[in-house]
Structure formats: structure tokens, C-alpha cells
Amino acid sequence: MTPQIEVFIKSLSRLLGWAYMLCWSGSFYPQPLTNIKRKSTVGLSIDLSTINPLGFVCYAIYTGAFLYSPMIRAQYAARHPAAEEPTVRFNDFAFAAHAVLLTLFLYTQFWPFIWGLHVSRFQRISWLMAGVFWGSVLAPLVVMWIVLARSPDGGYDPSSWAWIDVIYSFSYVKLLITIVKYMPQVWLNYQRKSTVGWSIGTILLDLAGGVFSMVQLVLDSSLQSDWSGITGNPVKLLLGNVTIFFDAIFVIQHYVLYRDDSKRTPGPGVRTPLLVGQDDTVRAQA
């Protein structure tokens, strides 16, 4: 690889990094603004909104550790000797920190005494998602206990159980949450036969961010001539793929399956709660 091409790829990687960060960061604004405009959270899954902040807290811990912890970076280098450094970038951490704040803000919109928005009495977190939430809290603690119990030197030897495994556990929790968090929203849209209340702007920005993230990861690894940069950053690889997969489902729901939902007049037994408060009535009659 010539020096000119290497400089170009590095510049393109940085550009893509900030592009995906801006797209993903921007994707957090349309939904709360939609809720405020409609004065309602009807159409948005409370399961998604409850578990999302936890996922981004885990992602912030993961990216922050790989960026700013000399111990974690040294353990990564020991396990991936061909790689110059982790493929985590500052824009990854900046995105994660911003996401924590915005997802927490969106979650508070389900508290009427704070924002005064209409919240359906059926919008309660499911026992399944509650189990995922507390299991996700417990998992890194279990890995931490294993590291302290199995490591010969308290987690500093990368050839054994080490602190980098604890950090990886946060990334896997984030991945699990990303996989399951969209499912309740997909199901809710299907039940309602509508995407009204679920912002398509969020999805389009999310989809663009997922594509940019994947391209950046491939470029970074090709620049190092070591594809372990991808396997060494599994959360970024799988997050991009999972994001693209579910966003494609939401695009199909919005533009193909339920594109005329805003024009239909609900009949008896039809689950299309398009008006504020209608969700309570329809669900009660069903």
C-alpha cells in the first residue's frame, strides 16, 4: 500500500467515523420530538425505551476502556499482536456518551408527571424484558467474579482470564440488548398495523449510521492488513449488522406494509390507534 493511499484511507475512515456518529446521534432526536409534538408516547415500545439506556451505558464503558485504559489496551495488544491498536475510536465513545443522555431523556417521557405526555395504561415493561434488563446488569458482575477467582494475578495476565474479558462482557451485553430491544417495537407495529408514533426519521438516520460504521470498520482493518481488527471489535461489527437488519424491517413496515395507516378509519376491533388516547380504547375492546 502506497503512503498516499494509506493517508487517503485514514482520512476516509475518520470521515466515516464522524459521519456514522452524527447519523446515529441524530437518530435519537426525531422520536422524543415526535412524542412532544403528538403529546403522547403511544406507538413507542416502553420495552425498547427502558432497556436502551442500559445498553448504551455498557457501550460507553466498553469504548471508554479501550480508549483510555492503558491496561486494557496492553491486554488487547497481547491478544492481537498483529494489530497496531484497537479499532475503537473517540467518535465511538462520544456517540455512546451522547446516547446515554438522549435515551435516558426519552425514557423519562413515559413519566407523565415530568413531561405531561399521554402514556397508555398498557405501556408497561414486560416481564421478559425486565428479565433481560436485570440479567444484563448481573452478567458483567459474574464475569468480574470469574476473573478474580480464576486469574493468577488478579486479572492482569492477558493469557488467562483478564480485565479485558470484563470489558468484552459489557460489549456482549450491549450486543444482546441491541438484538432484543427492537423486537418489541416490531411486534407493536405489527399488532397496531401502524407505525404512527414511531418516527421513521430515527430509522433512516440509524440505517445510514449502521452502513457508515461497517465501512469504517472494514477500512480500519484493511489499513492494518489484519482482519482480526474486526474480530477484535465484535460489538461494532455485530451492532452494525443488527442495526441494518432491524432498520430494514422498520422501513418495510413503514413504507410497504402499513404505508396507508394514516388514511384509514379504524373499524370495530381494528388495532390502529392513530389518535392520542385511542390505544387504551382499542386495546380494552380487543
Note the pLDDT tens digit of each residue in 187-236. 999 999 999 999 999 999 989 988 887 888 777 777 666 555 555 566 66
Question: What is the value of pTM for the model shown?
Answer: 0.79
pLDDT at position 1 is: 62
Label residue 277 by pLDDT band (50, 70, 90).
very low
Question: pLDDT-based confidence at 272, cuts 50/70/90?
Answer: very low
What is the rounded distance in angstroms from the CA atom of residue 114 to the CA atom of residue 110?
9
- Phi, psi (rounded to 5 degrees) for 195: -115, 10
From residue 55, how far is each of 39, 130, 139, 205, 255 by CA, in Å?
27, 13, 13, 19, 28
- Would the pLDDT of 145 be above 60? yes
Q: What is the mean pLDDT of residues 174-188?
A: 92
At residue 55, what is the residue type? Answer: G
Compare 14 and 277 and report the one with higher pLDDT: 14
Q: Which three cell numbers stand for residue 171?
A: 460489549
Share the mean pLDDT of the chain: 83
Q: 3, exposed or middle or buried, with CB in 10 Å at 0-12, 13-18, 19+?
A: exposed
Q: For the segment 91-141, what is each residue's pLDDT rounded down to a tens digit?
A: 789 889 999 999 999 999 999 999 999 998 888 889 999 999 999 999 999
Residues 118, 112 contacting (CB under 8 angstroms): yes
Q: How confident is the model at residue 266 (pLDDT cuts 50, 70, 90)?
A: very low
Local structure of 21: helix, strand or coil: helix
Burial class (CB in 10 A: 0-12, 13-18, 19+), 81: exposed
- Count helices and strands (H / E) in the chain: 12, 0
Higher pLDDT, 279 or 233: 233
For residue 282, name the pLDDT band (cuts at 50, 70, 90).
very low
Q: Which three cell numbers stand for residue 259?
A: 404505508
Q: Percent of the chain scored above 70 by pLDDT?
A: 84
Q: How far is CA 206 from CA 8, 52, 247, 270, 282, in A?
A: 26, 14, 7, 30, 31
Q: How confident is the model at residue 169 (pLDDT cuts 50, 70, 90)?
A: very high
Cell numbers for 11: 482520512
Average pLDDT over residues 77-83: 79
Residue 280 has pLDDT above 80, yes or no: no
